[in-house]
Structure 1
């Protein structure tokens, strides 16, 4: 495709298939270059990118070789489709600034990848004539070519005006993903759910690895891997019914012993265990997994932090 000429970009060919587009990336962190590379594999043409740090520039050079690194306004000037892949908190000011300086063109597809926001954050650019899309890949990124393959089957939280829905979904499919429609007002809850599951899982696993190492386990990752893999699979299949362990059984003495030992080794891990055990007990009791006759002693231990 030739460089933009000021004409409105065509968001889709007949049937919703995206036209071959000149693609720009504003923000070359872990996400932007990966999505740019995925779009290149789909037949689109990355033409410009912007990045500040040495690490971000390195990612751009590795995943988008030969693509010039320029200022954000110049990225927009060269592109039909622009990926805004900056941190959530930076997105509103970036969009407002680009719109205020006249960088946004009529008919230009402007896509952000924030989980927190829908298309409302793009309103300044929309008023300048841009076509707004929110496409959030529900995946953690390393910023390497490994991520491009991981996009296969990855769910994307998609929010867009009704008239652009087919184009948005088609772009996701071209990157190998599966579109999941998220209403504008549901974006904060959607993002909180993903962050709660993925980010806090990393914290939980890291704490468990440290505790096993403190207990003398030589290969804690090898020990945890099969256990956590099975637990995750069971939880995804069965939800609360997959609960096992001393909290679900109401083994108050075991839980008290855990809290005492964790308090000795790591107050941080003890606090995490206690908070999660309280929630787990409430859910197990509500779902009939924790027998009421065994719940009283357990809830007492959890209420006083195992100090009995």
Structure 2
């Protein structure tokens, strides 16, 4: 039996257009988007490697027909107007182009993927095929699809590709509450690196701060994280202001001796800790120079310390 999920937005006239969607690779991202889109477009097939995995996705979505691509020939794929590829990044090219080469796509069809790092140019469309390509990347964490159904509305989505495809997909994604913005195809890798820094590497940085805390002898395993309030305040200040209003601490004040003591302490820690500290410290020094709180001489001395430690590591 299909699971009942909360509805996000009232149905639009997409259903009257009878546009059909096939989803290839309905994992966390695919089944979330399919569930949200199912009231705005006709969902045909949900295509996964195995029939059982496809059935599980259909049960979550509440619409569509499961298709196990690993056990059935591609000639059994049903026609669709839009083909959404939501498999892992490393499989997009092979899976997407296999679908294209199967001959199941028809003139006027759209094929797109949801990767942040890869452009739509990865699809190899035969000349004169009249098939449009695009990519739409939601800046959203899909770790919990149920939660994503509630929180997706308002999600920024980067979109690029052929004009026809981007126009149709812009309308479709807006119908589920997305906030789309265009991006240059050639800039996708750098764009995606920025999202990884803000999400994945932020987790790494916070975990590193806890590791330093433990190295300093602070027991936080049986207590709440002592850094929690500081983290929340800093993120809040940044999100409601900017880097110049959010940055505090020794580099903001120009405390050269404090930075020197940090670097000395980090000499007894794993070498990559000091490397991260120095790299981020240089960025903090650039921000601090715009605050006008620390003197240019202090910031110059701090930058010299950070860069000297970086140079020392290269020649160890």
Shift in CA distance, 59/245, structure 1 to aligned 2, threshold 3 Å: farther
Q: Which ranges in structure 2 are unaligned for 5 or more consecutive residues?
A: 1-11
Q: Contact between 2:49 and 2:69, CA under 8 Å: does it hold in 1?
A: no
Q: Contact between 2:85 and 2:112, CA under 8 Å: does it hold in 1?
A: yes
Tell me which of 59, 68, 71 is aligned to 1:70: 68
Q: 1:144-159 maps to which residues of 2 (within 5 A)?
A: 144-159=145-160
Paired residue secondary structure (1:68): strand
CA distance in 2, matches of 1:92, 1:51: 16
Tell me which of 260, 264, 271 is aligned to 1:267: 271
Paired residue secondary structure (2:276): helix
Shift of residue 287 of structure 1?
Answer: 5.7
Equivalent residue, structure 1, for 2:7: none
Q: Deviations over 1:77-126 (max 9, x none)?
A: 24332210123333223333222231322222312111223332235168
Equivalent residue, structure 1, for 2:301: 297
Q: Contact between 1:109 and 1:132, CA under 8 Å: does it hold in 2?
A: yes
Shift in CA distance, 188/157, structure 1 to aligned 2, threshold 3 Å: same
Equivalent residue, structure 2, for 1:204: 205
Q: Deviations over 1:32-71 (max 9, x none)?
A: 111111112x333433223348996686255335641321
Aligned residue pairs, count = 293
Tell me which of 279, 301, 305 is aligned to 2:283: 279
CA RMSD of aligned residues (A): 3.3
Shift in CA distance, 281/107, structure 1 to aligned 2, threshold 3 Å: same
Shift of residue 290 of structure 1?
Answer: 3.4
Equivalent residue, structure 1, for 2:45: 48
Equivalent residue, structure 2, for 1:124: 125
Shift of residue 270 of structure 1?
Answer: 2.6
Equivalent residue, structure 1, for 2:37: 39
Q: Contact between 1:84 and 1:111, CA under 8 Å: does it hold in 2?
A: yes
Shift in CA distance, 180/55, structure 1 to aligned 2, threshold 3 Å: farther
Equivalent residue, structure 2, for 1:231: 234
